[in-house]
Structure 1
């Protein structure tokens, strides 16, 4: 059965967004436009600098490029439409458009969620086995880790989206959100959603709890290795790098767990909209700052490209 085949009662959804007041929406438009442009420019700059400088052609910066591409794609899945809806009189999205946004949003979100494990593994090898770093993380393994993550997560999102959009939607079509996110759309279904909620819970365990556990395990080993470093300066630098990564991971995982690992009955639409901004919008904005603007190699390459360095 094709998703949407039994959805003859609803042909489109209305995304309510954050406010119905025109003045408020105009202010939000400016704020979110600046955030979106900053996210795209920041992550795009990282990709460009890594591609231009051969000294940055290492596993660490390869993974950083993939993460930046993920962030750009993830935020672009929702922000342009949200910006249009903030100024437009109609906030309608077709059933097919909603299905596609839910699928791509979920796929990219799960991919980023899982890719943080790859980043943690990269830091684990770099700190715990520095002399064997390039041998363990050879280019073949790097490419397999990146491509395997994308393929598996896009398939997982397809399963989740299929079941959600195969529900009967016969009543209200007003989604109290700024995007077609699974729990928000599912709350409008004209039939029981208990089985799909259980499926969400199972998927969340494998796609959220397991990655979080692996990241925590990696950083426990990293912390032990850092504590063995005799140089205080080197130890502080290593801890600073790890703390930055863990900050971004927390900002991404905490709201995702809050939204997807609880039943619909305990959901608060207004709160969900605000919480989802953290892992959809603000993480993409913060990643360039956390991973790159504090990185001397990235700054050196930027100055060289601008003509201020050698």
Structure 2
């Protein structure tokens, strides 16, 4: 059967009479696509939605900054306790002009990067073992849950004793903070996979490796990415405690230095830089998550990607 034999090859004209479809230049012009003229492509739609999301996300911080500057201008708050945003910006510009700012930012980013990589890798291995095997879960989970309750600052003297005050102790402390959200989310994600999906894989005689690749990995990916984002957030929190351990450079050192020398503008500048860098790195990880989960028929994807349907990934 050819395309011409299908019922769609004939159309109904005026008066109910059948006629053959148009051919030639007239048909090409009449049925030419008008995507570029009447409809925006998915790229332009995505750019518009991204700009709108950024604008909405900046609205409340901008209003708070304006209110903060007004309160400082009318002396409703003491500048020695809460300097105005203009003073904070001046402090940042002075640090940048002296060449100090980028050195502090760079060393903090390097510490967070290596701590995140080590903690995420360890959390992935332990979470996968505990989620996939009941035996490993019984062996690992009680001990790790007890260690999770230890405050971050309690690790500092022990790591200084073991590793000294150099970079190894700082990176290890950050890795500890990253580890637990990744471990918990991955373990729970694997344990909560729908049992019927696993049974379908066994009916089709999937090997253990194929079962992991084709069912467990796609099913646990949302929880895993959530764990990575949570671990990254804790990594930024733990880096402050890490940089208290004898650091001579970094945003945590800059914050403590501002506190010890009575410079509140430096303290607030350090806090705002932590917030900015944490948000930018989280945005990058969230963008990776959206791309990795673009196939998922979820509520979030139905609103943001309603016209960008993709098939379930073949792992």
TM (norm. structure 1) is 0.30
Rg larger in structure = 2
Answer 1 or 2: higher relative contact order, Cα 8 Å, separation at least 6.
1
